[in-house]
A and B are shown apart, each in its own frame.
Chain A
Amino acid sequence: EAGVAQSPRYKIIEKRQSVAFWCNPISGHATLYWYQQILGQGPKLLIQFQNNGVVDDSQLPKDRFSAERLKGVDSTLKIQPAKLEDSAVYLCASSLRASSYEQYFGPGTRLTVT
């Protein structure tokens, strides 16, 4: 079974530029999560999708971050414009359902904003 795929693996941009990350979850997983992990911290949820609908985006900085999940499968996370404090690893995870099921994580995208 293929795992969660993410691209790119690394990205370096200057502040005020825009960037987009892509995630392909495990086939059949209805729930998709985007987490932000700042160095030395545990991951923090940015947004959660159930199929193609948003369940929770309460911690997403909506003035600069946006995300979508087309057709309930792939998802993209965009930052525009980026700030220095956005430097982090962005992790995508998926689970069969949201309730009590195990989450599976992708390799992450390491973003450096200079």
Chain B
Amino acid sequence: KQEVTQIPAALSVPEGENLVLNCSFTDSAIYNLQWFRQDPGKGLTSLLLIQSSQREQTSGRLNASLDKSSGRSTLYIAASQPGDSATYLCAVPYYGGSQGNLIFGKGTKLSVKP
């Protein structure tokens, strides 16, 4: 059974810091891994999707890496801004009983203080 864990559960940093969010998964047989952002009371916004054949993906100040063999992914945020404050979720598709069902971690709640 696939399980996804995110550490830390919450993080508070001053503006301008570089930071790393961690995601681990128990079953390394994944097709891809997706990072999402969720603002309070809102839906999920996809940030980055890394295919299993890729090692990393970049979008602006965000860089996500994937190490399938160790069951880990990291989301690196450079030069953090107050607007980055949100909950960040990682998810992997699970094909045990269906096609593409996403298994989510509980998220890391990020607060960037001015």
Pairwise interchain contact A100-B43, C-beta atoms closer than 8 A: no
Q: Which residues of B contact A43 (CB under 8 A)?
A: 44, 89, 102, 104
Q: Are B101 and A105 in contact (CB under 8 A)?
A: no
Interface 1/0 per residue, B24-65 and A, CB below 8 Å: 000000011010100001111110010100000000000000
Which residues of A from 1 to 15 have beta carbons under 8 Å from B?
4, 6
- At the interface, is chain B mostly helix, strand, loop or mixed? strand
The complex places the Cα of A36 from the Cα of B10 at a distance, in Å, of 22
Nearest B residue to A107 by beta-carbon distance? B43
Known: A40-B106, A41-B106, A102-B46. A110 touches B41 (CB 8 A): yes
- Give Cα A110–Cα B43 distance, bound, in whole angstroms: 10
Which chain A positions have C-beta within 8 A of B34? 102-103
In this assembly, does B71 line the interface, its C-beta being within 8 Å of a C-beta of chain A? no
The 4 closest A-B pairs by CB, nearest first: A42-B104, A56-B98, A98-B99, A98-B100
